[in-house]
Amino acid sequence: MTSVEETGVLAGDERMLIDGELQHTAGGATFDVINPATEQVAGQATDGTVDDMARAVGAARRAFDETDWSRDLEFRYHCLTQLHEAFERNKERLRRILITEVGCPVKVTGSQIESPIDEVRHWAEHGRAFEYLVDNGVHDTPLGPARRKIHYEPVGVVGAITPWNVPFYLNVAETVPALMAGNTVVLKPAQLTPWSGSEYGRIVAEETDIPAGVFNVVVGNANEVGAALSADPRVDMITFTGSTATGRAILAAGAATVKKTLLELGGKSAHIVLDDADFSMALPMAALMACVMSGQSCILPSRILLPRSRYDEGIAIMAAMMENFAVGDPWDPANMQGPQISQTQREKVLGLVTNAVADGARLVTGGGVPEHLPVGYYTQPTLLADVDPDSQIAQEEVFGPVLAVIPYDTDEQAIAIANNSIYGLSGEVSGGDLERAFRVATRMRTGNVTINGKSHFGIGSPFGGTKQSGLGYRNGAEGFKEYLDAKTIGLPDQ
């Protein structure tokens, strides 16, 4: 954990990394980075342009086409081992930057700092051990027997566009496996959290042997900069985590060149609490998970489905948890909920709560700004009951500490309500009869399900969404293969 001497706001590197050089944009323009816990300017970041993005893509294209990066596995392993060690050395600086620009409570930064650093070593080892050439055996053909081999090859230039909610983690998750697979990368971090990207670039430039052009970071405050990356014909693949609306735009931008696209998009996950569940275990945790990270999590089970026979009991348990949840200064280890990322985001969250009440939902607790926190973009943990499954609050991703509770009468009805969504990223089932809970989980149209608190998420297991929650997978063997093309080669059997 961070020492007292290392607490407090910290500005990250202003510069971006293009073709091995840490630099400002040509005109010298910058934009402010706001600390959401204080509403104050914490520092600046260079305001990169479409021209800067074009130069970065050109550098990545050249590095892929003209260097041995894609072919030299041992050198890639060496560089990513260096990167892991460098991240370890810079860990507390990265933590301070994360808390400054995101407002993530220090108590829960492990998943956003230690976990991605560990993942660098994982992908280095996984990529080194991966079989890039697989013998697929001898096959009969009209022209005689043919041996077929599958050669896994890097896709080429990968553009990574990342969000603000878990910026350092996703900057790593979307780029390190791509690099280890032999690709070159251009990273475009979110406007609200540029330093988690620019610090990554600084560390690569100053503390690793990763060649110029192999890894680039373009920081900019205009949406056009990310859009230029998506549309550039020199980019072979886009990986993106963020809203479904932006994901659709990225798909459209890449359509002209039929780019490979890996998308992790929005979610409106449901938690089906069966009537034989241990409410004293399941529901306090459900309330806690809505508040940690200020509800700014794509996999958050924000729809709680309670059996009508135990409905009031469940509401009371969650209300008690949320009314006593510690919200405040992210540097105070007693707090597990910090601010929303921005005033705009807080206004969106509170506006959706207001609309929900107007639509007939019952406000059990929360729904406003904590009285003891007049400064900072804080939101009260909020519990809404009697929610219509078709209402806006039950269908739209809130990205705030808000739970919508929906009653049901039968397992069939609960499954139907859970599947009543354009999203399918995550989900949860709680129940005493494990076989029954498993049957319910298998019928939920979602990419991932947790049963009785046993998380589905981990570096060794594929993670991806169904419906409008995404395309493709991160993590696991499937996640590494996303950054590779499979070439089948037929040759004479010898």
- Quick check: 223 and 235 in contact, CB under 8 A? no
Q: Bridge partners of 423? A: 467
Q: Is the dihedral of CA 178, 180, 182, 186 positive or negative?
A: positive
Annotated active-site residue in 14, 174, 264, 428:
264
* Single-letter residue type at 312: D
Specify the 3-state DSSP secondary structure of 429: strand
CB atoms under 10 Å from CB of 445, counted, come to: 15
Distances (CA, A) of 137 to 140, 294, 303, 486, 487: 10, 52, 49, 16, 15
* Single-letter residue type at 75: F
Distance separating alpha carbons of residues 389 and 365, to the nearest angstrom:
20
Distances (CA, A) of 99 to 34, 108, 195, 356: 11, 10, 11, 31
Closest to 110 measured CA to CA, from 336, 319, 261, 325? 336
Contacts of 297 (CB under 8 A, 6+ apart): 165, 166, 289, 399
396 is catalytic: no
Edge-to-edge, what's the strand order for the sheet holding 215-217? 21-23, 16-18, 215-217, 184-188, 157-161, 237-241, 260-264, 470-471
How open is the CA angle 384-387-392, to the nearest 5 degrees? 100
Distance separating alpha carbons of residues 115 and 119, to the nearest angstrom:
6
Residue 164 DSSP class: S
How open is the CA angle 192-195-199, to the nearest 5 degrees? 160
Q: What share of the chain is helix, strand, coil (3-state, %, to 5)?
A: 40, 20, 40
Residue found under tokens 């200020």: 294
- Quick check: 172 and 119 in contact, CB under 8 A? yes
Residue 167 DSSP class: H
Tell me the backbone φ, ψ of residue 138, rounded to 5 degrees: -100, 135
Residue 254 DSSP class: H
Closest to 235 measured CA to CA, from 151, 176, 178, 191? 178
Residue found under tokens 């039950």: 394
> Taking the mean position of all CA atoms in its chain, how far away is CA 167?
8
Residue 8 DSSP class: S
**What DSSP element (H or E) covers 365?**
strand 362-365
- Quick check: 380 and 367 in contact, CB under 8 A? yes
Distance separating alpha carbons of residues 247 and 6, to the nearest angstrom:
37
Q: Give me the active site residues, please.
A: 264
